[in-house]
Amino acid sequence: MRELKGLKVEKIALHGYGIAHSANRTIFVPYTVPGDVVDIHLTEQRKDIAFGSVTRYVSRPDFTIKPSCDAFGPKAQCGGCDWLMTPYAKQLEWKQELIHGVFDTVIDPHLIQPIVPSPQETGYRNKAFFPVSSRKGRLIFGMYQSWTHSVVPHRACQIQMPIFDVIAQRIIMLAQKAGTQAYQEDSHGGNLRQIGFRSNSDGSQIVVVLVTKSSKLPFTQLLVKHLNTEFPQITGIVQNIQRRRTNVILGDEDKLLFGKPWITEDIRGLKFQVHYKSFLQVNSGTMDLIGKRLALILGSGKRVIDAYSGIGSIGLGLAAACKQLTLIEENPQAVEDARLNAEANKITNVSFYTGRTEIELGKLAHVRSGDKARFESIIVDPPRAGLDPEVIKAIAQANLNQVIYLSCNPMTLARDIKLLSAKGYQVKSLQPFDMFPQTWHIETLVELVKE
Region of poorest pLDDT, from 87-101, 198-212, 265-279, 352-366: 352-366
How many domains, the chain? 3
CATH code, domain carrying 89: 2.40.50.140
168 and 252 in a single domain? The answer is yes
CA distances from 400 to 18, 356, 370, 383 (A): 41, 19, 11, 21
Backbone angles phi, psi at 353, to 5 degrees: -130, 130
Model confidence pLDDT, tens digit, residues 109-148: 999 999 999 999 999 999 999 999 999 999 999 999 988 9
Instruction: Check residues 372 and 344 and name the one with the higher pLDDT.
Output: 344
Residue 274 lies in a domain: no
> What pLDDT does residue 47 have?
85
Single out the residue of 20, 8, 15 nearest to residue 98, CA to CA.
Answer: 15
Q: Answer whether 403's CB lies under 8 Å from 425's CB.
A: yes
Q: What's the helix, strand, coil split of the chain in %, to 5? A: 25, 35, 40
Residue 268 lies in a domain: no
245 and 137 in a single domain? The answer is yes
445 and 305 in a single domain? The answer is yes
User: What is the pTM assigned to this prediction?
Assistant: 0.94
What is the length of the chain?
451
CA distance 445 to 437: 17
354 and 230 in a single domain? The answer is no
Instruction: Check residues 65 and 397 and name the one with the higher pLDDT.
Output: 65
Instruction: Give me the helices (H) in 49-207, please.
Output: 88-103, 162-177
- Residue 408 annotated to the active site: yes
Model confidence pLDDT, tens digit, residues 283-297: 999 999 999 999 999
* Residue 230: domain span: 127-263
Per-residue pLDDT at 372 exceeds 80: no
19 and 137 in a single domain? The answer is no
> What pLDDT does residue 367 have?
58
